[in-house]
């Protein structure tokens, strides 16, 4: 099946009871049993819910995975994957990554006994040198949040497997339409479905996709035992969002390319981070492992302190200053003060998350309007 067909039909079968073409939203916490333990496969909605089952089937198909599990948020999905490990295990992680992922690793799992090292995963030699005998996972974000670094999935999967470790890819920025890490050798894919999979900024959800049966069984156990599951309405919303994922990603990417090219020539802009620009250090790798460069653009403006940004924020008419990304509307975020505030300042600055760094989630509006909005706001600096 090709992509647009897959997105429209994945996980969606006409309801056998009524013929309803759209997946019904099963608002029920429990299910009648004919006799104790005799039921139609559903007992209790923390364990299973038919709307969630339909979504999980769709998510698996999108990532060409055998299995998918939906969670209450991207971080709940991350939490479940990290719980596959035991105290004393070591994890290598992309240095540039979502602040909340950094926080759960440093402040929840490190005190619990896991060990983390944050490395430049665009550089295979640096990753190789950081492996320890107890390294169990290599965890990468590609493109990374917020600097859009691209890490080589196939090479890192080979390296992880040589060292008896697994490769986890947070595929949130790329989406399954732009990149399928499992096909490149990764073992586990994690998504914040809050973003492009949902696509409309109206739901918080996470997902895990994988092929390994033993890890799947353990994750299914954790999903039920810990209980961070999404409700049926949220599952319906993400199922609906998925139907337009390829269409949206094409437009997000087309707009982002135009905006990145505009910013690259702007005198107030010191640096642009976008994998679709020839100046991006991993431009060729992005071309090779991604269908399109995606809808996220980061750039650095020439300001000495965040206070100097006030007139810029005030002048914006279309871009909304907000955390999150991946919706149809354009958002702008200040990583140092917002999404990445949980990373200590010294580490942030070393990474390149400076007071002038801005991150755009480019929506599907008309590119000319978006460029005009940025042009007018940049005039204020
Ligand atoms: O917000 P939640 O659904 O729990 O997903 C967490 C998460 C995981 N991975 C990546 C790459 C992410 O970007 C996120 C969430 N990110 C934001 C809210 C943000 O504005 O960057």
pLDDT in tens, 73-98: 999 999 999 999 999 999 999 999 99
- 204: Cβ below 6 Å to ligand 1? yes
Residues 258 and 236 in one domain: no
| pLDDT(162) > 90 | yes
Task: Kindly report the average pLDDT of the chain as a whole number.
Answer: 97
Which of 71, 151, 172, 332 gets mutated to test ligand 1 (max ligand atoms within 8 A of its CB)?
172
Q: Is 230 in the pocket of ligand 1 (CB under 6 A)?
A: no
Q: Is the pLDDT of residue 307 over 90?
A: no
**Cis (ω within 30 of 0) for the bond into 351?**
no
State the distance between the two ends of the chain, measured CA to CA, in whole angstroms.
Answer: 49
100 within ligand 1 shell (Cβ under 6 A): yes
83: domain range? 3-242
Ligand 1: residue of 75, 98, 197, 339 to mutate (most ligand atoms within 8 A of CB) is 98
Among 214, 242, 270, identify where a domain stops: 242
Q: Are residue 11 and residue 125 in the same domain, yes or no?
A: yes
3-class SS of residue 249: helix
Largest CA distance in the chain: 73
Residue 29: which CATH number? Answer: 3.40.640.10
- The pLDDT of residue 128: 98
Read off the pLDDT of each residue in 331-356 and give the average, rounded to a whole number.
Answer: 94
Distance CA 24, CA 36 (A): 26
Query: Does residue 214 share a domain with residue 165?
Result: yes
% of the chain residues with pLDDT over 90: 97
Domain-terminating residue out of 196, 216, 242: 242
Distance CA 75, CA 72 (A): 8
Q: Is 49 helix (H, G, I), strand (E, B) or coil?
A: coil
231 and 256 in one domain? no
User: Residue 80 CA to chain centroid, in angstroms?
Assistant: 15
What is the rounded average pLDDT of the residues 68-76? 98
- Lowest-pLDDT choice from 10-19, 160-169, 326-335: 10-19
Q: How many CA atoms lie within 13 A of 24 on its CB side?
A: 12
The pTM of the whole model exceeds 0.85: yes
Q: What is the pLDDT of residue 304?
A: 79
283 is catalytic: no
Burial of 154 (0-12, 13-18, 19+ CB in 10 A): middle
Residue 371: the pLDDT is: 98
H or E element in which residue 51 lies = helix 50-62
Q: How confident is the model at residue 202 (pLDDT cuts 50, 70, 90)?
A: very high
Mean per-residue pLDDT, 349-378: 97
Of the listed ranges 137-141, 222-226, 302-306, the least confidently predicted one is 302-306
Statement to judge: residues 129 and 272 lie in one domain: no
pLDDT, residue 216, reads: 98
Residues 141 and 86 both lie in one domain: yes
pLDDT at residue 305 in the model: 82
Instruction: Please indicate, yes or no, whether residues 230 and 251 belong to a single structural domain of this protein.
Output: no
Q: How far apart are CA 87 and CA 247, in angstroms?
A: 43
**Contacts of residue 316, Cβ cutoff 8 Å, sequence gap at least 6:** 332, 373, 374, 377
pLDDT tens-digit map of 58-67:
999 999 999 9
- The answer on 164 and 26 residing in a single domain is yes
59 and 187 fall within a common domain: yes
Gap from CA of 205 to ligand 1 centroid (Å): 10
Q: Do 179 and 93 sit in the same domain of this protein?
A: yes
Please, are residues 330 and 320 in contact by the beta-carbon 8 Å criterion? yes
Q: Look at residues 242, 260, 292 and tell me which one is the last residue of a structural domain.
A: 242
Q: Count of alpha carbons within 13 Å of 223, Cβ hemisphere only?
A: 27
Return the pLDDT at 283.
Answer: 98
β-partners of residue 90 are 115, 135
Same domain, 325 and 227: no
112 and 40: one domain? Answer: yes
Q: What is the CATH number of the domain that holds 281?
A: 3.90.1150.10
Domains held by the chain: number? 2
Q: How far apart are CA 92 and CA 231, in angstroms?
A: 33
Over residues 272-299, the mean pLDDT reads 98
């Amino acid at each position: 099946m090709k992509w647009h067909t897959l997105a429209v039909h994945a996980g969606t079968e006409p309801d056998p009871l009524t013929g309803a073409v759209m997946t019904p939203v099963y608002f029920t916490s429990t299910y009648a049993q004919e006799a104790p333990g005799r039921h139609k496969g559903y007992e209790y909605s923390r364990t299973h819910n038919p709307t969630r089952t339909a979504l999980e089937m769709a998510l698996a198909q999108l990532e060409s995975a055998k299995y998918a599990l939906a969670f209450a948020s991207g971080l709940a999905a991350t939490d479940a994957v990290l719980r596959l490990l035991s105290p004393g295990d070591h994890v290598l992680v992309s240095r540039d990554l979502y602040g909340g992922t950094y926080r759960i690793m440093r402040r929840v799992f490190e005190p619990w006994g896991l060990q983390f090292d944050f490395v430049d995963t665009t550089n295979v030699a640096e990753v190789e040198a950081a492996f320890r005998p107890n390294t169990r996972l290599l965890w990468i974000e590609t493109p990374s949040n917020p600097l859009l670094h691209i890490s080589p999935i196939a090479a890192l999967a080979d390296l992880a497997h040589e060292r008896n470790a697994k490769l986890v890819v947070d595929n949130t920025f790329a989406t399954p339409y732009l990149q399928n890490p499992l096909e490149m050798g990764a073992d586990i894919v994690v998504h914040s479905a809050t973003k492009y999979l949902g696509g409309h900024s109206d739901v918080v959800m996470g997902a895990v996709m994988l092929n390994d049966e033993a890890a799947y069984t353990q994750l299914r156990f954790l999903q039920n035992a810990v209980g961070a599951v999404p409700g049926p309405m949220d599952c319906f919303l993400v199922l609906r969002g998925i139907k337009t994922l390829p269409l949206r990603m094409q437009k997000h990417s087309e707009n982002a390319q135009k905006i990145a090219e505009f910013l690259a020539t702007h005198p107030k802009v010191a640096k642009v981070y976008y994998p679709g620009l020839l100046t991006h250090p991993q431009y060729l790798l992005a071309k090779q492992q991604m269908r399109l460069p995606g809808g996220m653009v980061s750039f650095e403006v020439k300001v000495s302190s965040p206070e100097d940004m006030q007139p810029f924020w005030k002048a914006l008419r279309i871009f909304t200053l907000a955390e999150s990304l991946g919706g149809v509307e354009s958002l702008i975020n200040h990583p140092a003060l917002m999404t990445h505030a949980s990373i200590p300042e010294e580490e942030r600055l070393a990474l390149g998350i400076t007071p002038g760094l801005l991150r755009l989630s480019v929506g599907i509006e008309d590119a000319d309007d978006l460029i005009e909005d940025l042009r007018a706001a940049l005039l204020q600096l």
